[in-house]
A = this chain, B = another copy of it.
Amino acid sequence: MLSLAALVLRLRVSGCQGRRRSIATVVSGNRTSKLVRERLQKEVEKMRSQFSGFRPGLLVLQVGDRDDSNLYISSKLKAAAEVLQNIRSANANVSIHGLIVQLPLDSVNHIDTQLITNAVAPDKDVDGLSCINAGKLSRGDLTDCFLPCTPNGCMELIRQTGVSVAGKHAVVIGRSKIVGAPMHDLLLWNHATVTTCHSQTRDLPLQVGRADILVVGAGRAEMVRGDWLKEGAVVIDCGINQVPDETKASGKRVVGDVHYASANQRAGFITPVPGGVGPMTVAMLMQNTVQSAQRFLQNQKH
């Protein structure tokens, strides 16, 4: 069956991560996301005092779940229709300002992901993954759309370094809808010269070596080695990979797409995994939801 989970906007404060010993400065997503959440908390409080009791509402629509998948939805069409009906209802609900559909769709009957993603009303698409949002972002109309959360979090981390983006050579590894492709757009429209690399790039170490700013969303554990990097580069690692580790009780540990131990000897700035891009993604989703709620209130005034 379909399960709907209404996520309450939590603005909790998490721990602040200190610097590790390395040549590179560690850009902490935990610390930066905390700053963002503190700012958002103030904005939410302001909205609540101005419009008594108002709260930004985010709905997370989850299709299926691990324990009780939608085995009972007999046909593909019925499954899609049920999801679409939930989306339309949320689109029409004035107390919901942000609506996201958890991907991948966990359904025994294949549902067209594009169809579902594009059914979300553009003014509630806080994931920024619909065609219309992607079209605006890719063509430089950034003020008129929602910025996808992971790339927007990466931009926030790059800003934290104090390194300006305009005129720099940025390299993005990966071209996924969620990370690589919108990351390219954000760097480009912040006026970097941008190179996109991917599985068919032949000379990846050479391309990486040209990057003043490197963003990696490849999904391959520790693929980028320290000796590939340009000295002093800003390195943003979007990877979350589990690798075997017998020294851990769980038998595994989480690593990024960058080989951290060698990269932090050569980069100027580097994000850790975990505690880098991950918490920023969540903070940016909150930011988009607050922004959507603010736009809603603004439109109510007029």
Q: CB within 8 Å of B: which residues of A?
A: 114, 130-141, 144, 166-167, 169, 175, 177, 181, 185, 188, 191, 193-198, 200-203, 207
Which residues from chain B contact A175 at a C-beta distance below 8 Å? 140, 188
Which residues from chain B contact A207 at a C-beta distance below 8 Å? 169, 193
Which residues from chain B contact A138 at a C-beta distance below 8 Å? 134-135, 137-139, 181, 185
29 contacts between A and B (CB under 8 A): A114-B141, A114-B144, A131-B131, A131-B132, A131-B135, A131-B139, A132-B135, A134-B136, A135-B135, A135-B138, A137-B138, A138-B138, A138-B139, A138-B185, A139-B177, A139-B181, A140-B175, A167-B200, A167-B201, A169-B203, A169-B207, A188-B196, A188-B198, A193-B195, A193-B200, A193-B207, A194-B195, A194-B196, A195-B196
Which residues from chain B contact A139 at a C-beta distance below 8 Å? 131, 134, 138, 177, 181
Choose among B134, B135, B169, B191 the residue that contacts A130 (Cβ–Cβ < 8 A).
Answer: B135
Which residues from chain B contact A198 at a C-beta distance below 8 Å? 188, 191, 193
Measured in the bound complex, the distance between the Cα atoms of B169 and A114 in whole Å is 30
Measured in the bound complex, the distance between the Cα atoms of B13 and A267 in whole Å is 58
Which residues from chain B contact A140 at a C-beta distance below 8 Å? 175, 177, 181
Which residues from chain B contact A137 at a C-beta distance below 8 Å? 138
